[in-house]
Amino acid sequence: MALQRIIIENVRPRTPTSDYPAKSVAGEAVRVTADIYREGHDVLDAAVRWRGPSDKRWRLERLTDLGNDAWEATIQPSEIGLHRFVIEAWTDHFETWRQYLLRKHGAGLEIDTELEEGALLLEKYKVPAAKSKVLEKAIATLRDRSLHPDNRLAPANDFDVERITDAHPYHDDLSKSATHTLRVDRPRALVGAWYEFFPRSEGGLEGAIERLPAIAEMGFDIVYLPPIHPIGKTFRKGRDNTLTAKESDPGSPWAIGSDEGGHTAIHSDLGDFADFDRFVKEAESAGLEVAMDYALQCSPDHPWVKEHPEWFHHRPDGTIKYAENPPKRYQDIYPINFWPETGREELWQACKEILEFWIERGIRIFRVDNPHTKPFAFWDWMLSDLQDRYPDTIVLAEAFTRPKVMSKLAEVGFNQSYTYFTWRRTKQELTEYLTEVALTDKADYMRPNFWPNTPDILSDPLRGGEPGAFKMRFALAAIMSPSYGIYSGYELCENEPASPDNEEYLNAEKFEIRSRDWDDPDSLAPFITKINAARRRHPALQELRNIRFQHSSNERVIAFSKRTEGPSDVVLTVVNLDPDSVHETTLWLDLNQLGLPEDEPYEAHDEITDTTFVWSGPSPYVRLEPTDPVHLLHLRRRGAVISEPFS
Amino acid sequence: MALQRIIIENVRPRTPTSDYPAKSVAGEAVRVTADIYREGHDVLDAAVRWRGPSDKRWRLERLTDLGNDAWEATIQPSEIGLHRFVIEAWTDHFETWRQYLLRKHGAGLEIDTELEEGALLLEKYKVPAAKSKVLEKAIATLRDRSLHPDNRLAPANDFDVERITDAHPYHDDLSKSATHTLRVDRPRALVGAWYEFFPRSEGGLEGAIERLPAIAEMGFDIVYLPPIHPIGKTFRKGRDNTLTAKESDPGSPWAIGSDEGGHTAIHSDLGDFADFDRFVKEAESAGLEVAMDYALQCSPDHPWVKEHPEWFHHRPDGTIKYAENPPKRYQDIYPINFWPETGREELWQACKEILEFWIERGIRIFRVDNPHTKPFAFWDWMLSDLQDRYPDTIVLAEAFTRPKVMSKLAEVGFNQSYTYFTWRRTKQELTEYLTEVALTDKADYMRPNFWPNTPDILSDPLRGGEPGAFKMRFALAAIMSPSYGIYSGYELCENEPASPDNEEYLNAEKFEIRSRDWDDPDSLAPFITKINAARRRHPALQELRNIRFQHSSNERVIAFSKRTEGPSDVVLTVVNLDPDSVHETTLWLDLNQLGLPEDEPYEAHDEITDTTFVWSGPSPYVRLEPTDPVHLLHLRRRGAVISEPFS
């Protein structure tokens, strides 16, 4: 027979196809849910059995019946690696008997037969020692219940069934779900502030090391470097993507490979492997982790082009085709043909070895360039193997593409995903998008990483924008999402677009070396530092799924809260989305949901200005200048200890 | 490798687990949809291959790209039985080349290489005859396009690619979905008006035959009989469910079995098999189909009780337990233990043989009593076999139980389901419920059958209700759902509840014989006749998924439309949900969706009163008395031919 006695369905967490592991990070509370039911009215019980890679046996967590056939448990795996879990359900004949007995007794009916049946159940399930005690207690309870003519079900502790059930599990009709998988990553896969910069603009790895203390001081967790490999000379691009590079033009770092080497070499202008190792070590000392770029494409001078011309696309005349997305042309880049007529396995292996090379050199975070132009089957094959062998690896998918493609890349194994946040501006857009990425099934397997800018994208309202616009977009990214990043120059409010209808930067750093005045007194570094400090101080800001939107009467002002369970930490953020005007609003806070008193004042401490407001009731008034468009408010009861654990 | 080159996912129609067939009826247009995508920017093409039970080969229907990686096709299987379908997708290199060429040409770039590539493609795909012609046409098109500097994509018919593609399909990267199944039922599984009545109240099958013309005249399609089998004497229930039956009390027809026989016998008070056959034949002559009750339970006198005591539940003292749901007790009924310690297979087989018996006697529609108290595994096993052998069988699940259980019964094979309509009264409740059953994935496999009353349920607002309330609930059931039913006496507005807090009828027909005055001049028969006639006349009322709610300014007035595709048939229904008061409302119709003119008057012909209103614009005013609470309006352009096909 196809079906078991008890139906167990709709098990979460899961990916859309259930063919890949869902995701969590070590220490994160994972809500396991399922629909569980059988025919008739017998009472069920259910548990999740789960185990991590080094567990010798299954752990067991009892599920709770939420009503309407929905069940849940919370597990908290702490080991990194692939976990398995199975939902089990069984008929609880003892509880069925107990409830039936109580209902019948409550209705004033004879229960002699039922008491006999109880005795038989105890015998069947081999609990003779407890037998008389339980029955005695049952009868006493039933006597009490005759005082309650309303015939409500007795609470579960009416008599001590739980203890007997646990000691002598009698799993009749035992039914099991399929085995589901959960990949537990290290916490950095969920929470991290990324800072992207070009070492060559700092004079190479040596100079880049000097930037590390300032980056660390702003509170970033990760420094991400665009490709550091040799850059091709053939068809090298000049400034602003021009076709004729001058001798002094450095070329795009994404045009990877020259006679110096390919993806496993370092551009000699940046330094050598000793410099690289030192950079990684100094970053680590400063509390920063280094992320590298993994861009599977080659300049015409890449060694692979000579060694493996069969790995590329060819024109009828036999020459290799450069990348093109008309009208855009990338003459300096050869895309790889991932499904060549011959040599596919060798090619895929070679691509994987690049990552392995850098992993062996100590790198564990990679930002993957355009993964949506490579086959899903390739990522499936590569990432599953990689993550089994190096479970602390984190790969971020740079797939600014169609939603189903983005989602599928997350499903097949990417730990994080760039998102549409970059283009979500209005209150409605942001609310809908955050609901999608944080509050639907998508959060089971796709982790967003919010970027207000990248070297390719100077998005509205940053194009020609005032510092207030940069603050606003930064705060949204950094507070809404536990992972976010900026591309350097953001703190200096670099805002000149390449053209009015183009998202690229003018004087794009991709094609030239930029020098910057990091000591600019108008730098947003102090603002960034405050927000990153709040991210570290507040556990509430280190979760994705806890975002809740609060009502704001003004459509240009967005308000959202984040709250932890347990020792409650509550942060309310209010942002003026209009970079041009001052806005006022009346909020309507769900105080109950926020764990705040309805009937006495509470404090809202602004972590940016270090000002404390005393509010009362659910509808405080807020006013935000476009120059200071953000309130990051720690909400707390008055008189709460404010130094520990959250100040 | 696990993944194919092209991802094909989220294929519909399907059931929640995809382990069972989705459902349609012969001739129904079935929308097949899927998410289809691959890496990069190459152009895809896709088709659904499908075949019915007697098809010698697969039929093929091309899918249309809806954008955002969603694809669809419509197929219209006409054969009854299990169909299979597979989605196939492939890379269309020719179209990829064509689009690329046009974009490049549009951007003013050289295309010599691309024209060479086109020639090679034609050669590769063996279309040499058409080669020169296509290239000539392509070049001519490109010349034309130089007049269009806006670089839009050329429409597909820019040159004659389709013809070549079809003649020479070049299915590169061919990827296939799993094989999905679709059970095609006969149309009666979707559309039917049911009329339930107790033959014994008409004096047996003989007398029941005399009722058939009147039932047929009201426009019903199905007469459904509660169990017609011998009724047990042991613990027989008296009137109003009392424990002490008088000698003259007939007992509940659901207490099946006596020394006369069990589920394959006919109660001698009703007649014999000759009478039964005549009843079926007369019904057929009147245009009615007979539905029987399939209630898997036994009276203490059922032959199985002696022959197979192991098929029942036992008390500690060895006696058999009667059915009980404290405080309710059914002393006259023994529930079957569907998972006995021995003899399960024999029991299940015996249960199946009951249905086979009546099927062989010409019955093809069964209303299944309380299927949710029998194992899903049983229904799975039984229905799949039954429907393979007797594909014209229709089984209706009487499962007034939790939503997931109802849904699962539909998934494992029930053709129709009783629903919560019975208790959905307000505009919001009805709108939400209809949205769930008609406009979500649920409609892929679960077909609702709406009942305003049953012999067990005299629901609000029928309890003590006025005729207007009976009209209102009837109209909602019959117009919202293609399948609906009433239990007889409804047309006489029988409205006396057993008690103020009980949904049962006073003098419930389950326990006694009722005589009725069918000639009552206040009977709702004329009203029912008009609505059933409209159901037959309007194809729009024979679909489930086409319901759309229209805005009504008054919360007590609901408005909904149904419209067919093709030769458009549009019906608007407006119902006063308040049985106590007159209500007026202003509607806001989506004229575009309804296919009606925005700028000229149109007609709304009331099919109940035969009155025609001339309306103009989207917001007509409507007023409904509680005594005549329904407008059933055929909307049509003025001057439309009104006799054919819809008057």
Is the minimum CB–CB distance between A340 and chain B shorter than 8 Å?
no
Q: Which of residues 499-558 of A touch B (CB under 8 A)?
A: none
Which amino acid appears at position A309 of this protein?
A: P
Average pLDDT over residues A6-23: 97
Instruction: Report residue A184 CA to chain centroid gap.
Output: 12
Enclosing H/E stretch for B366: strand B365-369
A116 → closest Cβ in B4, B68, B316 = B316
* Cβ neighbour number for residue B148 with a 10 Å cutoff: 11
Q: pLDDT for A402-427, tens place per residue?
A: 999 999 999 999 999 999 999 999 99
pLDDT > 80? residue A633: yes
Question: Do A587 and A616 form a contact (C-beta atoms < 8 A)?
Answer: no
CA distance A398 to chain B (A): 13
Over 50: is that where the pLDDT of A153 sits?
A: no
pLDDT of residue B160: 38
**pLDDT, position B170:** 59
The pLDDT-based confidence of B149 (bands split at 50, 70, 90) is very low
- Cα radius of gyration (chain A): 30
Tell how far CA A394 is from the center of its chain.
11
Examine the pLDDT at B98 and tell me if it is beyond 90. no
Task: Give the pLDDT score at B134.
Answer: 60
Does residue A327 belong to the interface with chain B, where contact is any CB pair within 8 Å?
yes
Sequence length of chain B is 647
pLDDT of residue B120: 79
* pLDDT, mean of residues B489-510: 95
For residue B238, the cross-strand partners are: B242
Q: What is the CA radius of gyration of chain B?
A: 30
Percent of chain B with pLDDT over 90: 82
- Interface check for B420 against chain A (CB to CB < 8 A): the answer is no
Q: Chain B residue closest to A379 (CA)?
A: B3
Summarize pLDDT for B105-123 with one digit per residue, the tens. Answer: 778 888 888 888 877 777 7
Q: Mark which residues 371-390 of A lie under 8 Å from B by CB.
A: 372-377, 380-381
C-beta atoms of A5 and B380 within 8 A: no
Tell me the C-alpha distance between B51 and B83, whole Å.
6
Cα–Cα separations (whole angstroms), residue B90 to A335, B5, B85, B171: 21, 9, 17, 5
Residue with the bigger pLDDT between B100 and B9: it is B9
Q: Give the containing element (helix H, strand E) for B183.
A: strand B180-185
Distance from the first to the final alpha carbon of chain A: 60
Instruction: Compute the average pLDDT of residues A46-59.
Output: 95
- Give CA separation, A523 vs A219, A518, A526, in Å: 15, 8, 7
For residues B571 and B635, is the Cβ–Cβ distance under 8 A? yes
Whether residue B569 is predicted with pLDDT greater than 80 in this model: the reply is yes
A369 among known catalytic residues: yes
As a whole number, the mean pLDDT across chain A is 91
Q: What is the mean pLDDT of residues A19-42?
A: 96
DSSP H or E stretch at residue A137: helix A128-145
Determine whether A332 is an active site residue.
no
Q: Which of B325, B372, B377 sits opposite A3 (nearest CB)?
A: B377
Q: Does B172 touch chain A (CB under 8 A)?
A: no
The C-alpha of B467 sits at a distance from chain A's nearest C-alpha, in angstroms, of 36
Among residues B32, B42, B34, which one has the least CA distance to residue B5?
A: B42
ipTM > 0.90 (yes/no): yes
Give the DSSP H or E segment for B454: strand B453-454
Number of helices and strands in chain B (H, E): 14, 34
pLDDT for the residue numbered A168: 44
